[in-house]
Amino acid sequence: MNPYVSKHGPARRGARTLLTLAGATISAALCAQTATRPATTSDTSSANEEMIVLSPFEVTAQSSTGYVATQTLAGSRINTRLDDVGSAISVVTAEFLKDVGATDNKTLLAYTTNTEVGGAQGNFRGASGGQNQDETGAFTNPNQNTRVRGLTSADNTRNFFISDIPWDGYNVDRVDMQRGANSILFGLGSPAGIINTTTKTAQHRNFSELELRYGSYGANRVALDINQNIIPKQLSLRINLVRNDEEYKQDPAYSLSRRAFGTLRYDPQFLSKNGHKTTVKVNFETGTVRSNNPRTITPTDLITGWWDHLGQAVYNPNTVQNSGQWYDANGTAYWKDNTGEYNSTRTPGGAANPYYQPWLGAPQMYGGVWMQYNPGDVGPYTATMPEYKNIGGISSKGATDGGIGGLPFSRRVTVASTAYWAERMPSAPYQKWGLWKSQTLSDPSVFDFYNNLIDGENKNEWQNFKNLSATLTQTFFNDLVGFEAAYDKQRYRSGQYSFNGSGALYVDINSYNLDGTPNANVGKPYIESNYTYGNSSYDSSRESARLSAFLDYNFNRSDNGGWFKKLLGRHTVSGLLSQDSWRTDRRSFKRYGTPDSFGALVATGTNASYIDSNDRAVTSTIYLGDSLASAKTYRGVDIPRAGGEVVVPSTVQWRYFDSTWNAPSVDPAAPWVSTYNGQTLTQSENPANYVGWKTTAVNLLSAEAGDQDALTYSASLNKRVVDSYAGVWQAHFWDGAVVGMYGIRHDKVKSWAFEGIRVNNRVNFTALDSEGRLHYSTDGKEATLYEANSPSWSVVAKLNRFIGNRLPVNVNLYYNRSQNFQVVGTRNNIYGEALPAPSGKTKDIGIMISDKEERFWLRINKYKTTVNNATNSTGIPTWYLLGGGNFIQRQEDRADAYEYHLAELGNPASANGTGSWTWRYAPRAGETQEQADAVAAAAVAGWRAYTNEPIVKRILAAWGFNDFSKTQLTTMSHPVANFVATEDQVSKGWEYEFTANPTRNWRITFNASDTKALRTNIGGSELQEFIELTNKYHNGPMGDLRQWGGGGTASTALVSWNSNFYSKYLLMKLQEGSYSSELRQWRYNLVTNYSFTRGVLKGVNVGAGYRWQDKIAIGYPVKADGTGNITFDLDNPYYGPSEDAIDFWVGYQRKLTSRIDWRIQLNVRNVGEGNKLVPLTAQYDGAVAAWGIAPSQTWTITNTFKF
Render pLDDT for 968-979 as a digit per residue (tens, 0 to 9): 777 766 677 677
Amino acid 1070: pLDDT: 67
DSSP string, 433-497: GT-----B---TTTB-TTTB-TTTTS-EEEEEEEEEEEEEEEEETTTTEEEEEEEEEEEEEEEEE
Cβ burial, residue 1193 (10 Å; 0-12/13-18/19+): middle
Instruction: Pinpoint the alpha helices (H) of 296-431.
Output: 305-308, 418-424
Q: Please, what are the domains in the chain?
A: 62-199 (2.170.130.10), 301-334+360-439+499-532+611-699 (no CATH), 896-979+1035-1069 (no CATH)
Amino acid 75: pLDDT: 52
What is the distance between the alpha carbons of residues 987 and 767, in angstroms, rounded to a whole number? 45
Would the pLDDT of 73 be above 80?
Answer: no
Phi, psi of 230 (to 5 degrees): -90, -50
What is the distance between the alpha carbons of residues 655 and 384, in angstroms, rounded to a whole number? 5
What are the tens digits of pLDDT across the range 434-455? 789 999 999 999 999 999 999 9
Amino acid 827: pLDDT: 78
Would the pLDDT of 1065 be above 90?
Answer: no
Amino acid 61: pLDDT: 58
Mean pLDDT, residues 788-812 taken together: 89
Whether the Cβ atoms of residue 536 and residue 496 lie closer than 8 Å to each other: yes
Strand blocks (E) in 851-901: 856-871
Would the pLDDT of 27 be above 70?
Answer: no
Question: How do 810-821 and 784-798 pair as beta strands?
Answer: antiparallel
SS3 399: coil
What is the distance between the alpha carbons of residues 437 and 420, in angstroms, rounded to a whole number? 8
Whether the Cβ atoms of residue 460 and residue 291 lie closer than 8 Å to each other: yes
Would the pLDDT of 13 be above 50?
Answer: no
What number of other Cβ atoms are within 10 A of residue 409's Cβ?
19
Amino acid 748: pLDDT: 92
Would the pLDDT of 576 be above 70?
Answer: yes
Work out the pLDDT band at 3, boundaries 50, 70, 90: very low
What CA–CA distances, in Å, run from 223 to 258, 550, 606, 1106? 10, 37, 55, 28
- Give the CB-side neighbour count of residue 1042, counting CA atoms within 13 A: 22
Of 77-81, 247-251, 427-431, where does mean pLDDT reach its minimum? 77-81
What are the tens digits of pLDDT across the range 118-143? 888 888 876 666 678 888 888 888 88
Asked, as a colleague might, if the bond just before 1137 is cis with ω within 30 of 0, I would say no
Of 492-501, 892-901, 1084-1093, where does mean pLDDT reach its minimum? 892-901
Would the pLDDT of 744 be above 80?
Answer: yes
What is the distance between the alpha carbons of residues 674 and 672, in angstroms, rounded to a whole number? 6
What is the distance between the alpha carbons of residues 812 and 70, in angstroms, rounded to a whole number? 14
What number of other Cβ atoms are within 10 A of residue 814's Cβ?
23
SS3 1061: helix
Amino acid 613: pLDDT: 84
Output the CA torsion sign for 1148, 1149, 1153, 1157: positive
For the CA atoms of 439, 443, 446, 452, the dihedral, rounded to the nearest 10 degrees, stands at 90
Output the CA torsion sign for 517, 520, 524, 528: negative
Amino acid 128: pLDDT: 61
Work out the pLDDT band at 755, boundaries 50, 70, 90: confident
Q: What percent of the chain has pLDDT over 70?
A: 89
Amino acid 1122: pLDDT: 74
What are the tens digits of pLDDT across the range 672-708? 999 999 999 999 999 999 999 999 999 999 999 999 9
Amino acid 873: pLDDT: 62
**Largest separation between any pair of C-alpha atoms in the chain:** 121
Whether the Cβ atoms of residue 412 and residue 395 lie closer than 8 Å to each other: no
What are the tens digits of pLDDT across the range 894-926? 888 888 877 666 667 667 654 445 678 878 777
Amino acid 161: pLDDT: 93
Work out the pLDDT band at 48, boundaries 50, 70, 90: very low
**Report for 151-155, 512-516, 870-874, 903-907: range of highest mean pLDDT:** 512-516
CA geometry: angle at 943 spanning 941 and 945, to 5°?
70
Mean pLDDT, residues 870-898 taken together: 75
What is the distance between the alpha carbons of residues 552 and 562, in angstroms, rounded to a whole number? 20
Of 149-158, 181-190, 650-659, 1094-1103, where does mean pLDDT reach its minimum? 181-190
Would the pLDDT of 875 be above 80?
Answer: no
Would the pLDDT of 237 be above 60?
Answer: yes
DSSP string, 58-122: ---GGGEETTEE-EESTTTSS-EEGGG--SEEEEE-HHHHHHHT--SHHHHTTTSTTEEE-STT-
Work out the pLDDT band at 1074, boundaries 50, 70, 90: low
Amino acid 917: pLDDT: 56
Amino acid 872: pLDDT: 72
What is the distance between the alpha carbons of residues 529 and 618, in angstroms, rounded to a whole number? 8
DSSP string, 505-522: EEE--BSB-TTS-B-TTT
What is the distance between the alpha carbons of residues 348 and 325, in angstroms, rounded to a whole number? 8
